[in-house]
Structure 1
């Protein structure tokens, strides 16, 4: 079901609660959980990979860089593909690529090989996540806002369970998490195959130019730039903090599990309340400012050789990132008068570029300067995102009005 993203939110609301969804939506949500596991799954095994494959922090961080870079660039073609072969075939193609490249990553014997296969994993991830958001919103019986909350809940659960599973399997072998995702995504592939109906293709096929045209709308571009900047903080936390917590695979898995649980909880239960009470722009600016403070404290904790400080901050950061994820994703769906899938692809292209540069840069900054430098740099970039958001607030007025209604 395709609707114009510029339509008022109330026109899209339908009867039905958050949990009252068709089986197809639950099948996609389950697959989303598995897909998002891939983001945090490698966190607990980063130090182990660095040690066993004799790689530097910046080299190992390329696992995130290749994944995010390919995901971001591939976002530009997701609409072209899905509008021609259909949503179901696009989802299944993405899932199949994740299964193949996750398994190949587990079989690899070099850091270069893993980095390359993570790039292929990113291609599958792009085809899947851009289409999944559009499919969940289109097939949901509870309206856009609740559908996005369900999507963010799946994201939060995947991000939280991923490190926990990665820690357990990683304690056996660093290869374990890769094979684990391959198996789970294969199960998700079967669910989507049999439970998702063939969604009709749009009457007009998307072109490669559509995401770039979408970015000509100031509101969507501003949200993309904000996400690009805060991803420097997000992926500094994800890709670099495991090196300064002095924990084994189990410990890192539990820390990021706690982080992900808070992320999932706040994205589902706290973000909607803030959305109703305050403007979406003010709420995003507030939580990103708090995240900036958390990153600064992590830098101070690292400088003072206090792993406990970093551990607590990582978990607490989940509160603010969960709220931000839901608010900014909902805002993106209302930012420009284009198809949801096009808006999602354009926004994701910009933000994933930040996710591609930041993990590698965090590792390099620690090698060039000091162990705490990546956190300070991440804090500065996140704060710049807040500034960009507030300076351009007038261009986001229609988003605030839609959310407030």
Structure 2
């Protein structure tokens, strides 16, 4: 009887939360690198949006995260290499460089190392299990943590790899769902594979925007082995890439809009835009004004005006909410004709729908041909993200 009880206790201990955490943490963080592909669905907003996510990671600190919305041409990448952290938008020929320790202080649910750190950091994380899956519920640790404080991490019992992450709001409702399609542990790439210039030149319809050099190399091998038919297909793909790359699109650095806020913000903006915006063409000078949709008490518009700019008009809206006040500036975006990296203050901010830049007093991003800049002395970073995530076009105020 004692032997049976002992065996039962040992079996139970092997499936304890601590034991599972140790095994998964070791497996996810001790590997020399990994590649993964996932699908991210954002359920907040009027309609759900779905994104393809592709990640490369090589120890210790090389990352490349490519995100593209399904059904859209534009894509973005966050790249960390030996030169720093970069956000690349190939279609706009824009590359911003950050002096940031991303992703260490900004956990992302599609980075499995960050998930391991999330679980380790939350002493109150709870584990349940089904026949095939361990399910952990833990706190989030990113810019969305105030709006989306919880996450559920589903781990396959056989592989000990995550299969899904559901990010939840305060009511425990799913707002972001990441489904992992493939995770390959043990991959390792050369430092040159993370060279920013290799990605900043790609067209948005080029599959390499998401799958990078590995896809290009595979396509080249296929061309050599599959004969003339594959060669013709590759030629068609190249023509499509060139056609897409040559399309004109409008964008400008959103930080430029801070000139009318404070001198400090103006200084930051100039460091971001520099001479890269000179001569930029504006294709979309008219745009519909966007407003944040927030359930904050006493928040109201105290000033709204249009200011003539060099290339396009700026809409400046000032909100007062007592202890929560801020200014939103927006204008048509402009393309960077030089396609060279420019400095951006702060850290990359993954807003779900796009990647922006965040500091303690501002957040900026570009979306659908419009650049946005929010300046504040009273909002936290989480609150700025909440404002940015709530922006909609139209007359909703």
Identify whether the pair has TM-score above 0.5, normalized to the shorter chain: no
Name the larger-Rg structure: 2
TM-score, normalised via structure 2 length: 0.22
Q: Which structure has greater strand proportion?
A: 2
TM-score (norm 1): 0.22
